[in-house]
């Protein structure tokens, strides 16, 4: 008999399976196709705007939205 466990996006959830006959237990975890950026613990989605990129901020250990600044382009045709 198989046991199905569904976990919502809650990183604090702990699942323990203890089979009654103690012969075999397995857990299969499938990736979720619909994860939002705001549900990730190391990404800040506050004050985002079109055209911004994600940049790592070591002060708070999170990726934050930032407007890209181009200071120098060498070579190429535009």
Q: Give residue-wise pLDDT tens across range 49-63.
A: 998 988 999 999 999
57 within a domain of the structure (yes/no): yes
Number of structural domains found in the chain: 1
62 within some domain = yes
Task: For residue 46, tell me if it sits in a domain.
Answer: yes
Please report whether residue 48 resides in a domain.
Answer: yes
Q: What is the pLDDT of residue 18?
A: 62
The verdict on residue 71 lying in a domain is: no
Q: What is the domain range of residue 62?
A: 42-66
54 belongs to a structural domain: yes
Judge contact between 52 and 66, C-beta under 8 A: yes
Do residues 44 and 63 lie in contact, with contact meaning Cβ atoms separated by under 8 Å?
Answer: yes
Residue 24 belongs to a domain: no
Q: Is residue 4 part of a domain?
A: no
Q: What is the pTM of this model?
A: 0.47
pLDDT in tens, 10-46: 655 666 666 555 655 566 667 777 888 888 889 998 8
């Amino acid at each position: 008999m198989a046991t199905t466990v569904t976990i919502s996006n809650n990183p604090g959830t702990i699942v323990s399976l203890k089979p009654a006959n103690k012969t075999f237990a397995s857990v299969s975890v499938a990736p979720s196709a619909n994860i939002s950026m705001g549900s990730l613990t190391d990404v800040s989605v506050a004050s985002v705007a079109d055209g911004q990129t994600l940049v790592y901020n070591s002060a708070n250990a999170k990726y934050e939205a930032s407007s890209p600044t181009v200071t120098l382009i060498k070579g190429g045709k535009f």
